[in-house]
Chain A
Amino acid sequence: GAGVSQSPSNKVTEKGKDVELRCDPISGHTALYWYRQSLGQGLEFLIYFQGNSAPDKSGLPSDRFSAERTGGSVSTLTIQRTQQEDSAVYLCASSSGGNNQPQHFGDGTRLSIL
């Protein structure tokens, strides 16, 4: 497709389980970003990839959160031992790189921890 694709669109899981969220960026975009949107915290940056490297992972809230990107394309965000405070919409964005280029967002994965 032409846009950023995220899957699943919704995920409900029990506290303590691990989850994997997937992001497929726009073809040719070298930069990929993960954000989290929650009622209490607004839109928060999590991690940024340039190619397969992550020069900025300063927004990951704890060591339960990790992300990787392979082949300069698809990225996976993994949350281990989920907690209720992890409930949020996880957004992925991609761009052609550089701070003056707009980031194009996917529709997000709504994660609910029971």
Chain B
Amino acid sequence: GNSVTQMEGPVTLSEEAFLTINCTYTATGYPSLFWYVQYPGEGLQLLLKATKADDKGSNKGFEATYRKETTSFHLEKGSVQVSDSAVYFCALSNFGNEKLTFGTGTRLTIIP
């Protein structure tokens, strides 16, 4: 079946630091990959997506590249801000099976 393994948290960084949150997946075929973010007190929001190998999703300074050879979709940002503090979820959805399979989530805290 499908599974997503995500970097354990919590992660604490200083403002302007470089961020990487690792995500690897197991799936048959060609899944679509997503990063969702949950800000404190808010609902889940789509951050970015990639639907085929070598695609790069990007939004709000965050990027992730769909790497089929390493089955990975790592989230990166060059310079984080306090407002990026949130829980980040990696997820996949497979063709013919539209449900999202989520990783466990990574809590990110940015300190000024």
Residues of chain A at the chain B interface (Cβ within 8 Å): 31, 33, 35, 42-43, 45, 48, 56, 59, 91, 93, 95, 97-100, 102-108
A58 CB to closest chain B CB (Å) equals 8
- Which residues from A are CB-within-8-Å of B34? 102
Q: A33-B99, A93-B44, A105-B44 are in contact. List 17 more A-B contacts (CB 8 A).
A: A33-B98, A35-B100, A42-B104, A43-B100, A43-B105, A45-B101, A56-B98, A56-B99, A59-B99, A93-B100, A99-B93, A99-B95, A100-B32, A100-B93, A103-B46, A107-B42, A107-B43
Q: How far is the CA of A103 from the CA of B34 in the complex (A)?
A: 10
With beta carbons under 8 angstroms apart, the residue of B49, B94, B96, B99 that contacts A102 is B49
Residue B22 interfacial (CB < 8 Å): no
Q: Is the interface of B mostly helix, strand, loop or mixed?
A: strand
Q: Kindly identify, within residues 87 to 112 of chain B, every residue whose CB is under 8 Å from any CB belonging to chain A.
A: 89, 93-105
Q: Can you spell out 5 A-B residue pairs with CB atoms less than 8 angstroms apart? A: A33-B98, A99-B32, A103-B100, A104-B46, A105-B45
Contact partner of B98 among A42, A59, A91, A98, CB < 8 A? Answer: A98
Tell me the residues in window 57-112 of chain B with beta carbons closer than 8 Å to chain A beta carbons: 89, 93-105
Could you say which residues of chain A place their CB within 8 Å of the CB of B95? 99
Q: 5 tightest CB-CB pairs across the interface, nearest first?
A: A43-B102, A99-B93, A105-B44, A100-B51, A107-B43
Question: How far, in Å, is B3 (CB) from chain A's closest CB?
Answer: 12
| Bound-state Cα–Cα, A65 to B85, Å | 35
- In the complex, residue of chain B having the shortest beta-carbon distance to the beta carbon of A3: B43
CB atoms of A56 and B97 under 8 A apart = yes
For residue B42, which residue of chain A has the nearest CB?
A107
Question: Residue of B at shortest CB range from A41?
Answer: B104
Instruction: Please measure, in the bound complex, the distance between the C-alpha atom of A95 and the C-alpha atom of B56, giving whole angstroms.
Output: 21
Q: Are A91 and B44 in contact, with the CB atoms below 8 A?
A: yes
Q: Which of B31, B51, B98, B104 counts the most A-chain CB atoms under 10 A from its CB?
A: B98
**Do residues A45 and B99 form an inter-chain contact, with CB atoms below 8 A?**
yes
Contacts of B45 in A (CB 8 A): 105
